[in-house]
C-alpha cells in the first residue's frame, strides 16, 4: 500500500492513501480500467456512485449486451472462484434485494440501474484478485459480479460497473476505506483524474474557507445504496424558488431526495420542482431560442459571447459544525451550460419518471468531491481537478 499524505492548496489534508486509479471522461460518463484476475486482465468499466456491487460481463457469455472490448475470461484466471448460495456474501441481509432467493448452487445477482430500474445486469457473484495500477495495491478475494445476461440499455463502451454505492460490497467497503475522492473533469478533457481511497477521513478546517463546502449526507431506506445530500433549495438571480421541502426528501417523502450521479451529465428536477424552476426562468429570461435542445433541454441560447445567463445557486445543509445552517454552490458558466451544436442550454431537465433530484456531472465538473464515510459528509472543493 502507499502511505502518501499531502495537503492540497484548498486546506483539506488527504490521509494515507489505500489505492488510486485514473478515471476518464467518456460518453457522458466516467470510466476506468479494471485490473482483475491472475494473470491480470483489463476491462473498461463505468464508475457508479449508486451501485452496490462492481461487475463485469464474463466469458462465456451468450446473453451479454454487445461490447467494444472482450469480456473477462474467467477460465484464464487461476484465482477466480464462484460463490455459493450459502456463502456469507450471499446471506448478507442488506443485499437480499440484489441476490433474491438463490435458485441453485451459485449465488446470483440482479442489480438495477436508473431511477426507475430500466436497466438490469444479471449474473453470478464470484471472487478474484483486484489490482490498482498506480498504487501497487492488490486485493485478494475481491467480491465482484460476473455478468451473463442483461435487460434494458447499456453503453457498449463499458464492460461493467465499478460500484461506489453504500453497502458492504462496494469498493470502499471491501477496502475498509474511511473516505474516497474523485474529480469530474469536463467531458472534453484529454486527461484523466484520480479516484483515491483513504485509510482515515480527511482533516478539514472546521472554520471553513472560501474554496470548499461541507454537505451533510443522509440515508433513505427506499434507496439503501444511494448517498443522499441534505438539500435546501435553488435560487435564480438571488431569488430562492418556492419549492416545498418534501420535494427534497424531507418529512415522509421517502420517494424524494437529492443524489449525485456522475453517470449522467444533466441535473434532473422532479416535476414539482421543475415547474417552479421553469416558471422563474421564463419570467426572467427573454433571450431563449426556440431550437430544441438535447435530451429534453428546454432553455437554450444562441452561442453568443454577449449573452447574459441567469445566476443559479444550489443550497445544501451545512455539514460543518461551525457556520451557517446552509452552504451555497454557485454554478459557473461551464457548470451551468451544456453545449449542443451551435447553442448552449441550461443543464437542467425535468425528471418526469422519478421523484428524485439527480445532480449530474456537468454541474460538478472541476470540483473535487470527497466522501467522508466516518462523519457522513461530502466535501466539495472548488476548482481543484
CATH number, position 275: 2.40.70.10
Whether residues 269 and 241 share a domain: the answer is: yes
**Residue 266 lies inside a defined structural domain of this protein:** yes
pLDDT band of 250, cuts 50, 70, 90: confident
**Residue 302 lies inside a defined structural domain of this protein:** yes
Residue 168 CB partners (closer than 8 Å, separation 6+): 92, 94, 95
**Residue 13 lies inside a defined structural domain of this protein:** no
pLDDT band of 35, cuts 50, 70, 90: very high
The least confident of 55-64, 115-124, 220-229 is 115-124
DSSP-derived pairing of the beta strands 356-360 and 257-261: parallel
**Residue 225 lies inside a defined structural domain of this protein:** yes
Domain boundary among 198, 233, 253: 198
pLDDT of residue 201: 87
User: Looking at the predicted structure, is the pLDDT value of residue 117 above 70?
Assistant: no
pLDDT band of 55, cuts 50, 70, 90: very high
**Residue 1 lies inside a defined structural domain of this protein:** no
pLDDT of residue 155: 87
Whether residues 33 and 163 share a domain: the answer is: yes
pLDDT of residue 292: 63
Whether residues 194 and 226 share a domain: the answer is: no
Domain around 31: 19-198
pLDDT of residue 3: 33
| C-alpha to C-alpha distance for 243 and 272, rounded to whole angstroms | 8
pLDDT of residue 83: 97
User: Alpha carbon of 53 to those of 28, 67, 123, 148, 229: distances in Å?
Assistant: 21, 20, 12, 15, 21
Task: From 155, 176, 203, 167, select the one nearest 95 (Cα to Cα).
Answer: 167
Residues 371-376: what's their mean pLDDT?
Answer: 96
User: Looking at the predicted structure, is the pLDDT value of residue 365 above 70?
Assistant: yes
Concatenated DSSP letters of 226-267: --EE-EEEEEETTEEP---GGGGT-TT-TT-EEEEETT-SSE
Secondary-structure breakdown of the chain: helix, strand, coil percentages, each rounded to the nearest 5: 10, 40, 45
Residues 128-144: what's their mean pLDDT?
Answer: 91
Whether residues 65 and 168 share a domain: the answer is: yes
pLDDT of residue 1: 32
Whether residues 162 and 256 share a domain: the answer is: no
User: Looking at the predicted structure, is the pLDDT value of residue 4 above 50?
Assistant: no
pLDDT band of 135, cuts 50, 70, 90: confident
Whether residues 242 and 167 share a domain: the answer is: no
pLDDT of residue 287: 78
Question: pLDDT tens, 148-187?
Answer: 988 888 888 999 999 999 999 999 999 999 999 999 999 8
pTM of the full structure = 0.92
Whether residues 217 and 163 share a domain: the answer is: no
pLDDT of residue 9: 33
Whether residues 145 and 276 share a domain: the answer is: no
The least confident of 52-61, 86-95, 303-312 is 303-312
- When divided into structural domains, the chain yields a total of 2
Whether residues 157 and 259 share a domain: the answer is: no
pLDDT of residue 375: 94
**Helix (H), strand (E) at residue 335:** helix 333-336
pLDDT band of 7, cuts 50, 70, 90: very low
Whether residues 289 and 311 share a domain: the answer is: yes
Whether residues 297 and 323 share a domain: the answer is: yes
Q: Is the pLDDT higher at 33 or at 353?
A: 33
Whether residues 223 and 273 share a domain: the answer is: yes
Question: pLDDT tens, 283-317?
Answer: 987 778 766 666 778 898 888 877 889 999 999 99
Please say whether the dihedral angle defined by the alpha carbons of residues 189, 192, 194 and 195, taken in this order, is positive or negative: positive
Tell me the pLDDT of the chain averaged across its residues.
88
Chain center to CA of 225? 11
**Residue 12 lies inside a defined structural domain of this protein:** no
Beta bridge partners of 147: 57, 123
| C-alpha to C-alpha distance for 166 and 217, rounded to whole angstroms | 12
pLDDT of residue 14: 56
pLDDT of residue 289: 79
Q: Residue 221: helix, strand or coil by DSSP?
A: coil
Amino acid at each position: 500500500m502507499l502511505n502518501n499524505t499531502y495537503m492540497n492548496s484548498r486546506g483539506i489534508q488527504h490521509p494515507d492513501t489505500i489505492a488510486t486509479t485514473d478515471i476518464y471522461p467518456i460518453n457522458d460518463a466516467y470510466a476506468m480500467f479494471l485490473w482483475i484476475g491472475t494473470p491480470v486482465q483489463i476491462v473498461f468499466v463505468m464508475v457508479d456512485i449508486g451501485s452496490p456491487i462492481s461487475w463485469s460481463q464474463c466469458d462465456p457469455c451468450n446473453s451479454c449486451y454487445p461490447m467494444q472490448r472482450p469480456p473477462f475470461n474467467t477460465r484464464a484466471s487461476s484465482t477466480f472462484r464462484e460463490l455459493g448460495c450459502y456463502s456469507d456474501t450471499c446471506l448478507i441481509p442488506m443485499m437480499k434485494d440484489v441476490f433474491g432467493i438463490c435458485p441453485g448452487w451459485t449465488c446470483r445477482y440482479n442489480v438495477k440501474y436508473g431511477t426507475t430500474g430500466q436497466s438490469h445486469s444479471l449474473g453470478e457473484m464470484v471472487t478474484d484478485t483486484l489490482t490498482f495500477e498506480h498504487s501497487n495495491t492488490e486485493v485478494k478475494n475481491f467480491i465482484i459480479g460476473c455478468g451473463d445476461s442483461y435487460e434494458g440499455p447499456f453503453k457498449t463502451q463499458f464492460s461493467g460497473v465499478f460500484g461506489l454505492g453504500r453497502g458492504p460490497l462496494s469498493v470502499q467497503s471491501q477496502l475498509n476505506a474511511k473516505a474516497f475522492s474523485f474529480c469530474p473533469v469536463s467531458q472534453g478533457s484529454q486527461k484523466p483524474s484520480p479516484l483515491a481511497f483513504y485509510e482515515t477521513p480527511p482533516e478539514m478546517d472546521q472554520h471553513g474557507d472560501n474554496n470548499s463546502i461541507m454537505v451533510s449526507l443522509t440515508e433513505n431506506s427506499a434507496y439503501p445504496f444511494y448517498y443522499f445530500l441534505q438539500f435546501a433549495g435553488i435560487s435564480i438571480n438571488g431569488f430562492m424558488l418556492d419549492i416545498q421541502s418534501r420535494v427534497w426528501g424531507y418529512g415522509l417523502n421517502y420517494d424524494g431526495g437529492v443524489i449525485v450521479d456522475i453517470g449522467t451529465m444533466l441535473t434532473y428536477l422532479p416535476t414539482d420542482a421543475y415547474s417552479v424552476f421553469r416558471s422563474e426562468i421564463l419570467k426572467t429570461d427573454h433571450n431563449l431560442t426556440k431550437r430544441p435542445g438535447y435530451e429534453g433541454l428546454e432553455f437554450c441560447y444562441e452561442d453568443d459571447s454577449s449573452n447574459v445567463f441567469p445566476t443559479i445557486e444550489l443550497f445544501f445543509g451545512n455539514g460543518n459544525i461551525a457556520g451557517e445552517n446552509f452552504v451555497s454552490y454557485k454554478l459557473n458558466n461551464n457548470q451551468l451550460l451544456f453545449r449542443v451544436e451551435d447553442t448552449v442550454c441550461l443543464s437542467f431537465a425535468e425528471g418526469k419518471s422519478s421523484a428524485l433530484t439527480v445532480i449530474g456531472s456537468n454541474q460538478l465538473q472541476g470540483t473535487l468531491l470527497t466522501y467522508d464515510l466516518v462523519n457522513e459528509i461530502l466535501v466539495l472543493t472548488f476548482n481543484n481537478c
